[in-house]
Structure 1
Amino acid sequence: MIRVLLVDDHPVVRAGYQRLLEQQGDIAVVAQAGDAQEAFALFCQTQPDLVISDISMPGSSGLALIQRLREREPRCRILIFSMHDSEAMMRRALDLGASGFVSKSSAPEALLEAVRSVHAGRVYLPPSAPAEADLSCLSPREYEVFRLLASGHSLQDCAKALQLSAKTVSNHQTLIKEKLGLSSLAALALLAVRQGLV
């Protein structure tokens, strides 16, 4: 059973999502919150497998909530479900630690697919998310490091797999981020997902 905390400031919207999710039989909404403060308290109480949150809410935003939740529980899985589906907003949410992003204009099936994807440890993005950054600027070695890091391997794992020192892999990672204009490992993973590499 996938235990979900649902965060949205509209009770009617939450009720609709709850009905959709619980009809599946393998998803249970264990708590609902109308703002980030309440969501954080309920997260600490219920320890859900997954948080589905809007971005626009009274008080703290969903982006601030991502940060607080990740500080409290670095492995927590957060799916953003928002009408603000711009490229910049998506990238910001993923940079802060969200595991997926679904537009509220998507079909209901997209939300269900996203919940199962994120629960399984994958990054979920809408099929329409635009591709970017050309990977051909990477050297063959940088490309290998990029692929391994994007698949969730640590610097140590990469070093072992490629028979390099961790310091060399770290240098490659810095160069890769610079060449591709990426600010974090989350952004790197996002790009790899978009390019169909993971």
Structure 2
Amino acid sequence: MLNKIRLLLVDDHAVVRGGYRRLLESRPDLTIVGEAATARDAFEQHRLLEPDVVVLDLGLPDMGGVELIRRLIQRDAGVRILVFTMHREPIFATQALRAGALGYVTKSSPPEVMLDAVYQVAARRQTISPDIAPELALALVNQAADPLAELSPREFEILRLLLDGCSPEEIGSRLSITAKTVQNCHYQIKAKLGVRSDIELTRAALKLGLI
């Protein structure tokens, strides 16, 4: 009997998940055991279903994908995560991999790249889609010159939400932390990026390609 690789799909667009399902289940050794549209639902489904591989997008409505990765790894250090996202910027890949993802594939990649990445991650091998691999390698070499590389996955997620216009209270609610903790992280983020005000923080984010 064929041992199938059990997958959990996490994306907030049902049409996109449907496309993933058709592609992945075209292979006889892959099966979708669950789908989730939010990070919280994904966290719970992972606990209940214990899939072999979690395929997730970074842009989720209730919590960023990097934070979800961090939480999944915190609960289960052996979880295998493949990020499938539209974000081509190296900083997103760097943060996802630092948080614990094994694979990072862009949505502009050919179908066979995604399929191969699923098998690689299932085998606990790191994989990066070819379209961003050179940029990511260069970013890692120059990491010391990139202030964003100094941010932890949690700080990166808070910065992303701040840039989206979320208040400390909103961020705290999403990340299950206090508004005071958010404010402290906000201060640390500005210190690491070498800025003093939120206007300077936004300018720095623009310059670094985060927005």
Task: Please provide the CA RMSD for this pair.
Answer: 2.4
Unaligned runs of 5+ in 2: 151-211
Task: Tell me if 1:34 matches 2:37.
Answer: yes
Per the TM alignment, residue 104 of structure 1 is displaced from its structure 2 partner at its CA by 0.4
What code does the residue aligned with 2:108 have? S
Letter of the 1:93 counterpart: A
Cα deviation for residue 37 of structure 1 reads: 0.3
CA deviation after TM superposition for structure 1 residue 121, in Å: 1.1
Alignment correspondent of 1:88: 91
Q: CA deviation at 1:101?
A: 0.3
- Give the secondary structure class of the aligned counterpart of 1:88: helix
Indicate which of 61, 69, 75 corresponds to 1:72: 75
What is the rounded CA distance, in whole Å, between the counterparts of 1:29 and 1:55 in structure 2? 19
Q: How far is 1:90 from its partner?
A: 0.4
Which residue is 2:118 aligned to?
Answer: 115
CA shift, 1:79, in A, is 0.3
Structure 1 CA distance for aligned equivalents of residues 108 and 38 of structure 2: 21
Runs of 4+ residues over 2 Å off in structure 1 = 131-134
Q: Among 55, 59, 66, which residue is 1:56 paired with? A: 59
Q: Normalising to structure 1: TM-score of the pair?
A: 0.67
State the secondary structure of the residue aligned to 1:57.
coil
Counterpart in the other structure of 2:130:
127
The answer to whether residue 32 in structure 2 is matched with residue 25 in structure 1 is no
Deviation at residue 98 of structure 1 after TM alignment: 0.4
Instruction: Supply the distance in 1 between the matched residues of 2:124 and 2:59 (Cα, whole angstroms).
Output: 25
Deviation (angstroms), 1:49: 0.3
Q: Select which of 39, 45, 50 maps to 1:47.
A: 50
Instruction: Indicate yes or no: 2:21 matched with 1:3.
Output: no
Q: CA deviation at 1:64?
A: 1.0
CA drift of 1:3 comes to 0.2
